[in-house]
Amino acid sequence: MGLGWQVVRGGLIGLGLPLGITSWPGSYCDTENGCCYPTTGKPAANFGIHGLWPNFNNGSYPSDCDPNNHYNEAEISDLISCMQKEWPSLSCPSCNGSTFWAHEWNKHGTCSESVLDQHAYFESALNLKADIVLLQILENAGIS
Ligand SMILES: *[C@@H]1O[C@H](CO)[C@@H](O)[C@H](O)[C@H]1NC(C)=O
Ligand SMILES: *[C@@H]1O[C@H](CO)[C@@H](O)[C@H](O)[C@H]1NC(C)=O
């Protein structure tokens, strides 16, 4: 999503960390086969986060950077209810998201662990989404 990219690039200058973010529309599974809404309910209407990952300048990205830094849901328990709405897993069979978030952390999150710990990684993605939503509202209203 091009719009997301601009916010991401601008918003992350402070972090000094180039990050990519991908998303899908909240109604994705209404029209696509092979996807299932989570057991915890249909995601937010606007769009859901798919992933957040650090990029190299050449466009490729590192992955699975630290096999010893395991996903630990206890560290992000305060974010879970928000993530269920904003960062749902659309894989089948329906699940509660834990497997998906663990995958995202292990593959991508560990590559920014020097800057973002587990809580900060998930919280940053949620904050970025909020920024993108705000920007879309302003754009739709003709203010940008
Ligand atoms: C991109 O840059 C990274 C880090 O410098 C390097 O490890 C990787 O091989 C590069 N990838 C390509 C496709 O050039
Ligand atoms: C999701 O289900 C798994 C396996 O039953 C459980 O360990 C995990 O705590 C659950 N996560 C949430 C967010 O409910």
What angle is formed at CA 78 by the lines to CA 131 and CA 122, rounded to 5 degrees?
45
Query: Is residue 141 in contact with ligand 1, taking CB distance under 6 Å?
Result: no
Ligand 1 atom closest to the CA of 59, numbered from 1: 1
For residue 127, report the distance from its CA to the centre of ligand 1, in Å. Answer: 28
pTM of the shown model: 0.80
pLDDT digits (tens, 9 = 90+) for 107-134: 999 988 888 899 999 998 888 888 777 7
* Closest C-alpha among 116, 107, 119, 41 to residue 79: 119
pLDDT digits (tens, 9 = 90+) for 44-101: 777 777 777 777 767 677 889 999 999 999 999 999 999 998 888 888 888 889 999 9
Asked if 18 and 57 touch (Cβ cutoff 8 Å), the reply is: yes
Whether 119 is catalytic is no
CATH number at 88 reads: 3.90.730.10
Domain that holds residue 132: 2-140
In the prediction, which pLDDT does 127 show?
Answer: 86
Give the burial class of 94: count Cβ atoms within 10 A of its Cβ; 0-12 exposed, 13-18 middle, 19 or more buried: middle
Q: Is 41 left (phi over 0), alpha (psi -120 to 50) or beta?
A: left
User: Structurally, how many domains does the chain consist of?
Assistant: 1
